[in-house]
Amino acid sequence: QLQLVESGGGLVQPGGSLRLSCVASGMTLGYYAIGWFRQAPGKEREGVSCISRTGDSTYYADSVKGRFTIFRDAAKNMVYLQMNSLKPEDTAVYYCAAGHWYGGNLLDYHIDYWGKGALVSVSS
């Protein structure tokens, strides 16, 4: 029974930065690959990024590549998504997920747990 809680969302101007955090309780995140997904109003959920259990492999959607960075801190049992150069189209609810990832795109990511989401709003 892993519980995930996202934090760090909020309102930011275009070009600004935010750092999302995913903190776990119940089990160590070290057992799981951690992914970030987002869903904008009226749109389908999309995969944003993923990091392997050991942290040696990562995935980024083309839309965020070069702007977002995913990393993990095993000692703190946390995973982060650093978001720079934010655009209005990044506005969405962002979800942290824990599961098993076998590389490649997130179609190969089996998700066992979801967080409840954090809203990121990019607007001037």
pLDDT below 70 — which residues of the chain? none
With H, G, I as helix, E, B as strand and everything else as coil, classify residue 75: helix
pLDDT for the residue 27:
87
User: With helix as H, strand as E and coil as C, how does 30-54 read?
Assistant: HHCEEEEEEECCCCCCEEEEEECCC
Q: How far apart are CA 12 and CA 110, in angstroms?
A: 32
Q: Establish how many alpha carbons lie within 13 A of residue 53's alpha carbon, considering only the half-sphere containing its beta carbon.
A: 10
